[in-house]
Amino acid sequence: MVFDSEFFAKFLRFGIVGLSGVVVDFGVTWTCKEKLRFHKYIANSLGFCVATVSNYLFNKYWTFKVISNQSMFLEFSKFLGFALVGLLINNLVVIILHGKSKLNFYLSKLIAIAIVSIWNFLGNYIYTFSA
């Protein structure tokens, strides 16, 4: 792995896409939890999943600018695999920080997103969207 200007540019674009994903994630989570009265962990998972789909598309076409020979299904499967492990990490962090330590639910979720973002970037940079 090379830490050059291209790496940092991709990391910056990944971060911008991630911020848009946070808006999607929080919007879906809040709507499902507060308005539709879904259980908070179901709402959290739905927010995460919807953000994963939008993040995949933005990262494929903008962050990594990938036009690959592999099928979109295979590529999305790789992306989703990292996202699902990220979802597990996300929920574990939320459970530990909110459920056990009684930190605010949304602050716990924000910390979880920061941790999972690093996991997702490295996994997708090295494996999903590698040339």
Cα separation, 68 vs 59, whole angstroms: 13
Question: CA–CA separation, 53 vs 49, rounded Å?
Answer: 7
Structure tokens at 73: 């299904």
- pLDDT, tens digit, 9 for 90 and up, residues 3-56: 789 999 999 999 999 899 989 999 999 999 999 999 998 998 899 889 889 999
Question: How does pLDDT run across 61-94, given as a tens digit for each residue?
Answer: 999 988 777 788 899 999 999 988 998 999 999 9
State the pLDDT at residue 48.
83
**Amino acid 1: pLDDT:** 63
State the Cα–Cα distance between residues 31 and 47, nearest whole angstrom. Answer: 9
Q: What is the pLDDT of residues 89-118, one digit of tens each?
A: 999 999 999 999 999 998 998 899 889 889
d(CA 75, CA 107): 32
Report the 3 state secondary structure along the chain. Answer: CCCCHHHHHHHHHHHHHHHHHHHHHHHHHHHHHHHCCCCHHHHHHHHHHHHHHHHHHHHHHHHCCCCCCCCHHHHHHHHHHHHHHHHHHHHHHHHHHHHHCCCCHHHHHHHHHHHHHHHHHHHHHHHHCCC
pTM: 0.72
